[in-house]
Amino acid sequence: MKYLSVLIITLIFTLSCCGMQKSIKVSTNEIEKTEIPLPPKPPKKSANFKELMHKRWHTILQNHVSDDGNVDYKAIKNDKAEFDIYIDYLSDNQPNETWSKNEKLAYWINAYNALTIDLILRNYPTKSIKDIKDPWDQRLWKFGDTWQNLNDIEHKILRNMDEPRIHFAIVCASVSCPKLQNTAFTAVNLDAQLTKVTKEFLADTSKNELSKDNIKISKIFKWFKKDFETNGSLIDFLNQYADVTISESAKKSYTDYNWGLND
């Protein structure tokens, strides 16, 4: 009987230990299951982010640029946070080899116009962009590893894309420039937008006076003459977008350029 009691006690002790081990094992598994989770992956860019990125710019233009192209620089300066966010977004999302030509053009046209406004805001109030020292050569904006200026964007990037109509889309913050559009340029609408701004500029009699035998045109056509002659003569280019048909032998002169601020 004594030995039986000892055996029973031993069995109870053994089973208890096994139970404890099982409990401990379960507890360990529980701990393993509650490890600190990995941080979430950064969100992927949407397929149409190239179009969406300019929505903020579109809103700024709608709020602060009139239908005539006059810019309320003071209002933009007083609400500069949204403007700065857009420029930061541009600098962080430069075009690469996967972008289409129209996507690149829309990006750099919008960038040029936004950076021109930023240049004015950095020196506001001013009566003219020409009152700023070296306005087109100042490297004020870092895009990736490159400090950009307006001259490089215009002459080394945009003009090298063989699209002469860009000259009526980019704006130098001056009265005689093409007017700043109060809509952002987008790749999907770019061809129609460039046609519109070109026709609009040629139809503006304060900048161009066109008739069959006489034309008095903006100095833009003098400064960038070769850009407009890549597929024919300057007259050929004008006749694509003018309301009148100009003779190839028409007399040509240039209008005075007003560098006053476009406000």
Number of structural domains (the chain) is: 2
* Whether 185 and 209 share a structural domain: yes
Q: Do residues 132 and 119 lie in contact, with contact meaning Cβ atoms separated by under 8 Å?
A: yes
Q: Tell me whether residue 45 is in a domain.
A: no
Q: Is 129 a member of any domain? A: yes
Residues 211 and 83 in one domain: yes
pLDDT over threshold 70, residue 31 = no
Instruction: Check residue 44 and give its pLDDT.
Output: 47
Q: Which amino acid is at 114?
A: A
Reference 120, options 150, 143, 159, 152; nearest CA is 150
In a shared domain, residues 149 and 24: no
**C-alpha closest to that of 197 among 106, 76, 95, 116:** 106
| Domain of 30, in residue numbers | 1-37
pTM: 0.82
Average pLDDT along the chain = 87
Local confidence band at 9 (pLDDT 50, 70, 90 cut-offs): very low
- The verdict on 28 and 55 lying in the same domain is no
Each residue's pLDDT tens digit, 219-254: 999 999 999 999 999 999 999 999 999 999 999 999
Q: What percent of the chain has pLDDT over 70?
A: 81
pLDDT greater than 80 at residue 52: no
Do 10 and 72 share a domain, yes or no?
Answer: no
Task: Give pLDDT, residue 16.
Answer: 47
DSSP state of 128: B
Q: Are residues 4 and 65 in the same domain?
A: no
**Residue 43 pLDDT exceeds 50:** no
Q: Is residue 42 in some structural domain?
A: no
Residue 45 above 80 pLDDT? no
